[in-house]
Amino acid sequence: MKKQILLFVPLLMFAALSVFFFEALKLRETRSNSELTSALIDRPFPEFALPGLDNRMHTRDDLVGEVRLVNVWGSWCPSCRDEHPFLEELTRRGVSIVGLNYKDTPDAAIQWLQVFGDIYDFHIQDQSGRLGLDLGVYGAPETFLIDRMGVIRYKRVGVVNEAIWEEQIKPRYLAFGGLLNTPEAP
């Protein structure tokens, strides 16, 4: 009798492995394989002193005081073009977005904004990519959610769209006291 029970051990092990692999599969679906979790979540936004596209200097102090998105973009980045209309929609809903112009030239950036529309509250010019390095940026677009104290609360690698906003960013944005224009839905 005991021996018969033992016969089920391989089956149980197989079942355990199946569950494990199935969970791993689900993980891949929700989190794309190329996306790394930021080491900077819940850490303060790094200090910086960089010019905007109007050449006025900006520092970290300009970021704090409001729950915002910091969008890392470049005129060389095709996906940034794809996400731009949705970012524009977000500003219409009352979200403040600061543009971090990453590894770009001011001329190309200004030209890009003239074509696609300047939706940003202000710009930070990171030509060398040094601030990007402090932020753990490894591509564009990347979008950071920062709270009123200037602490990074969420990071999105890749395009921000309606689904990402609704599922990932909006709950956090509201939880940290971010404001939206009245009725978002019809």
Partner 1 sequence: MIRFLLLCWVMLLPAALPAAVETFEFSSDELRERYQVLVEKLRCPKCQNQNLAGSDSPISADLRREVFLLLEEGQSDQQIIDFLVARYGTFILYDPPKEGTTRWVWLIPGVFLLLGIGLVVMVLRSASRRPVPEAVEGDDYE
**Closer by beta carbon to partner 1, 135 or else 160:** 135
Q: Residues near 16 by Cβ (< 8 Å), separated by ≥ 6? A: none
| Residue that has been written with the tokens 């690698």 in this structure | 157
Residues β-bridged to residue 100: 72, 124
32 binds partner 1 per the rule CB under 8 A: no
**Closer by beta carbon to partner 1, 25 or else 39:** 39
Task: Tell which positions 33-92 bind partner 1, by CB under 8 A.
Answer: 34, 36-40
- Residue closest to 160 by CA, chosen among 147, 173, 150: 173
180 binds partner 1 per the rule CB under 8 A: no
Q: Single out the segment in contact with partner 1 by CB under 8 A; choices: 3-11, 64-72, 119-127, 163-171.
A: 3-11
- Over the window 98 to 137, marking each residue x when it contacts partner 1 by CB under 8 A and - when it does not, the resulting string is -----x-------------------------x--xxxxxx
DSSP 86-125: HHHHHHHTT-EEEEEEES--HHHHHHHHHHH----S-EEE
Enumerate binding residues for partner 1 (CB under 8 A).
3, 6, 9, 13, 34, 36-40, 103, 129, 132-139
